[in-house]
Structure 1
C-alpha cells in the first residue's frame, strides 16, 4: 500500500525532492578528521595514523548510511523517469571528472618523458643550459630516475608477466559483467548473480596480483616510490588505478547484494548500469596504462 502510494506520488510530482539530510554535515566532519590525521601522520605525529583511521572509518559509515537512504527512496518508488535521467547525467559527469583526473596523471607522464627528460639531456634550446651547466653528461633516456640517479638503479617490471595477466583478468571481467547485464535485462536472476559474482572475484584477483607485483618490484627490482621520476609516475598511475578497482569491486558487491534482494527489474536497474559504466571505464584506463607504462 505504502509503495503504491509512493509510486502514485512520484507520478504526480515532476521531480522528487528529498528531505533535509544530516549526512553531508557528518561526511564533512569525518573528511576533516581524516585529512587532519593524514597531515599529522606525514609530519611524524604519533597519533596521526589513529586519527586518520578514525576519520576514514567515520566517512565509510556515513557513506553507508547515506547510500542506504538513497536505496530506500528508490525501492519505495519515489523516483520517476526525470530523476532517473538526472542520475544518469550525474554519473556521466562523474566519469568525465575521472577521465580528467587520469588525463592529468598521463599528462605528467608524457610531459616528463617527451619534454623534461630530453631537455635535461640537452635537446632543444631549453636543454642547452641544463646539459652544459646544470647536469653535465646527463643522457636522455627512458625509463630514467633523472639526474644523479635518485633512488639508485632499478629494473623494470616485465609487461609480459603479471601486468599481462592483469590485463586479461580485467578484459575478462568486462565480458562477465556484460553477460550479467544481459541476464538482468532477461530477468534471469540465477545467471545474473553468478556472472556478477565472477566479475567481483576477478576484480579481487586483479588486486591481489597487483599487490604481488608491488612486492616483487620493491624487493627484487629496487623499483620504489623513491626511484626518481619513473618510480613516482609508475606508482602514481598504477596505484590510483588500483584504488579505482577497489572502489569498483565494492560497488559491484553492493549491487550484487541488491540483485540478491530483488531490487532491480529488467527495465529499472540504473544502479547496476552506473556500476557497469564505472567498471568498463576502469578497464579502458588499464589498457592505456598497460600500453604506455609497461609496454612502450
Structure 2
C-alpha cells in the first residue's frame, strides 16, 4: 500500500495542539497499518517556527520543496490573523493539487484568504465564524458543527474537533476498527458526529443580562425534567409569556424552546457518558418522558440513537502499544 502523504503547514503563531492532535491520530494509524501515512511538516523557508505558546518547531523541509500531498493540513492559531502573503500565495497555487485540504480552527481563515473556500461549506472556531462570514462572503459558513466535509475540503472547529476530524479521515481511509483502536489509545470518543454542536447551550446562548432571565436559565439547567413550557418559565421570571419569550430571545439569541431542547440533550449525553442508567431512566430524568422522544432528538441533532451514542463513547481496554 502506497503511503498517503500528510503535509502539515507550519507558520509563526500556530497553535501547537491544532498540529499535534491530528498528527497523533495519523501516527497512531501507522501502528495498526504500518506505512499508511507519511507525515511531514514544512514552513515557508524550511526554518523553525515559534508557536503561540512559545514552543519552537523545526520543520522537515520548505514548502517550496514539497510535492502535492494526499492530505494538506493547515492548523490555526494567532498567526492566522496577519499571515505572511507568501504563505497565502503558496496555498492559492499549491493547495488545490492536494487530494484533501484540511483545516483546524482558524486555519480556515488561511484557506479562505487563498480563495479555496469560495462557494464551499466550511466551519471554524465558534468565536471566528462571524469573522469568516464577514470577511469572506463567498464562503458558506456553518457555525455549529464541530467539522464540515465538502468534497475534498474538510474544516473543523477548535483543538479537539481537529482530532475528531482526523479520526473520521482515518476511518474513511482505513476502516472503523483502526480508527476505534486509535480513539481508545488516545482516550477520546470515536467519534463525535460532525454535526454535533461546537458548544453547550450555556455558551451558545449569550448569557441573559437581566437577573430574572439568568435565573431561569440556571433553573432549566438544574431541572431538565421539570415543566419547562413558556408559561411555566415566564411565571418563574414574573413576566407574561409573550414578554418572556421576546425578552429571552433578544438576550440569549434563541427561543426558550430551543434552549430547553439543547439543555435536555446535553443532560442526556452526560448521563449516557457518565452513568450506566437505562435509556428509559435517562429519558425521564432529562425531561423527554419516553425513550422514543429522546431517540428522535438524538437522531435529529447527533445522527445517532442514544444506544449508539453510548456504545461509541464507552471506554474499552486500551490496546497494547506497538513496540
More helix by share: 1
Structure with bigger strand share is: 2
Structure exhibiting the larger radius of gyration computed from Cα positions: 1
TM-score computed with the length of structure 2 as normaliser: 0.27
Higher relative contact order (CA 8 A, sep 6+): 1
